[in-house]
Structure 1
Amino acid sequence: MQTKTTPTIYTVSQVNALVKEVLETSLPARVMVKGEITGWKQHGSGHCYFSLKDEGSVLPCAMWKPNFARVRFRPENGLAVIATGFVSVYVPQGRYSLVVEEMAPEGVGALQLAFEQLVRKLRAEGLFDDAHKIPIPTYPQRIGILTSESGAAVHDIADSVHNRWPCTRLALYPVPVQGEGAARQIAAAIADVNRRNARLKLDLLIVGRGGGSLEDLWAFNEEVLARAIFASKIPIISAVGHEVDTTIADLVADRRASTPTKAGVVAVPDMRDVLSDLDHQGSRLMRSVRSRVELGGEYLQTILASSAFRNPLLAVRMREQHVDELASDLSASVQSLLAQRRAMLQDCHEHIARIEPHRLLGAMTVRLNELTSRARAAITAVVNARKMDLAAREGRLAALDPRSVLARGYTITTNKTTGKVVRTLDDIRVGDAMLTELAGKTVIESKVYNMP
């Protein structure tokens, strides 16, 4: 007889745990997955979350901060990569994902891709523009060299500079030029030299190292060093690698030397060329001075041969003669002008005499007196007429004055309360005060106590 078995009931967490165990035990410990990045997001913690997709599917991925720190290029959406890691299940949400431990771009090296990405970024920001580059001094007296003290580059640079321009003083600032953190140390050294340059008085900096692989030269391709070179107030020559090597430091620097040895050629002039040029300029100067002296001598002889030097008083005597002639002309002109003015004055005197102004003045005086008398008579007549008219108007006005009848025994009574002249009983009330005006401007005040 068969016994009935009871089915096992699992919790959600148990199912997810089983799936996790199956996936982690059934799949290889490490898998390499090729796909295109989508939904890239870097969390504030430094962990990265994204997906890899192809034509038919999407795979969730996670990359923890320590692993991402080893990635040299900048992951971005749409970039085809090869991710290496293991598949795991996030039990709380029942979601599986590929935990990425390493990541490389597909078809191109990670360092090359990182180099190209940073070049595009810095070019867009203008760090490579010629407008920002500082001119290299023609005759630098103090040069700072930032490189490894144990490498051949420092000797190549020093030999090249001293062979060409021995008077230049060199100062070595040893820095690591390869390995983890080298870029940050070189950048810090550049910033420190700039900060202390009021005392150091450096005219120029040379930053570089000898050749090597892309990995060896990578410190000179990092963003932190590129920005330090761009921010430097001291002009910088980048001398990294061999002829074929080009780094981001070369692109940002104010000048680029293809090798450390060539840095000396770029930094200082050749003493032999300068001396040769000085000799040439000195010869030209001597020829120019000699030619000017000869021309000056010839000009001096011409001056000495002139009449002014043979008979120096001749010019003075000729000027004196000219002054005498001008004085004679001036005297004649003054006499002629005076004669003309005397003639004009005589003509005016005769014209005035013919007019006889005294007789004309007498006639005008008689005429003025006559007009004055006539004006006075007219004014008197007008004033008398106005006085008579004014008297007539005054009489008519007095006849119309209501107070003129007071002299014949009449009075004028006014209601003091209302201010109106009393004509009928309707103009007063019991208790009203009355003002009665008599002749001679006499006023009697009364009060109404009873009315009929």
Structure 2
Amino acid sequence: MKPDPTLFVPPAETVGQLTQRIKECLETGFSEVNVIGEISGLTLAASGHCYFTLKDETAALRCVLWRRQATMFARLLAEGHSVEAAGELSVYAPRGEYQLVVRGLKPAGAGLLWQRFLAVRAKLEAEGLFAAERKRPLPRRPRRIALITSPAGDAIHDVLRTLRQRAPLVEIVLLPTLVQGAEAPAQMVAALALLGEAAARLGIEAALLVRGGGSPEDLMAYNDEALARAIAASPVPIVSGVGHEADVSIADLVADVRAPTPTGAAMLLSQGWTELPLELDLLARRLQRALRERLLTENQRLDRLQLRLTHPAARLSEARRRLEGLHARLTAAQRRTLAESRLRLDALHRRLAAARPTLAGHRARLDAFAQRLPRAAAQAIEAQHRRIERLADRLEALDPKAVLERGYVLVSDTAGQVLTSTGQLAERQDIRLEFHDGRAMAEVVGVEKSD
């Protein structure tokens, strides 16, 4: 197909020449204009010049305020302010854009966006949606959370990086949505509705509603009344992190917790996980201190019990001392009996001599007595020795240490009470086993009673 030759009538112009003609037309035809709009995208350059956009509901106009005028009207320059600007239209040739070179500014009342924000805020505040008492605390250490944001924005990367570094065990359920534009509020409301349906089933404990910074117009979606009511109706706590710290939206006011940035929101929700090592260390120190105190208490209790406990060897030693005392008393009694017998014999000799009996008969009887007495005394002493030996054998047989050396064990409870019957035992009871060469601690795992 050949081009229509009537469309290309010479001479042709360069882009610069055409732009210059447009510039001349604009600057001539619109040398003095007054325009009312809302300031947006305010930027103060290092040179001192000021750049911003005047907007209304249907259009936007780029504006420049040179350094001198920017200094004069600094108090009027603020995002969302509605102003009346006087100046002239011009063309910025390098980009082919037209702009208003502002010569003067004066206030024109609050901006439309700002007025809408104030109206919604007043309505919801009157209903109590911003009240502190309805805000819910965040879970200490959530295991699964929802993330409501754009999958293509910077905020999702900041949040995922922060959670990966601070709380890698947290599972994230992404609910993708637009974060600006006319359709963004409806999509976020739909995401919150889906969260309400799935939170209990999926075990979601909290949600992050985040997006990166932008102009007030970019953040207008978060001032939507329907979105605010959906946040308030959420079954789990909502943490908002919209824009930068200076940006405050309706969503921030109604959310359970407001963070200055998306990264700040992720940090708030992961705070409990980052504090876990410190808490575990504190608990470990408290446990060690409690164990030391318990060991000290038990050692002191054991010392007191040992002072009250008489060792079987000490009992045996005491029995031996008593046996030796009895033996000494028996020997003394025998000697005393023999001495008394000799005295009685002497008395009889004297009585015999005094009575002057028949000498031969009495002497024979005396000789018989003399022969029988030592033998009877020896027999008595021998009998007492045998009795003492029998007692010693019985005492040695009763010696607990001797019994222990034959493989028997002395069983007692932790209080030192000797246990002699299975009826004194219970499962999982701590008992002490006394061997002939030491002791051991044990636990009863079962009790069997004989028929």
TM class by smaller structure: 0.3 to 0.5
TM-score (norm: length of structure 2): 0.45
Q: Which has the larger radius of gyration?
A: 1
TM-score (norm: length of structure 1): 0.45
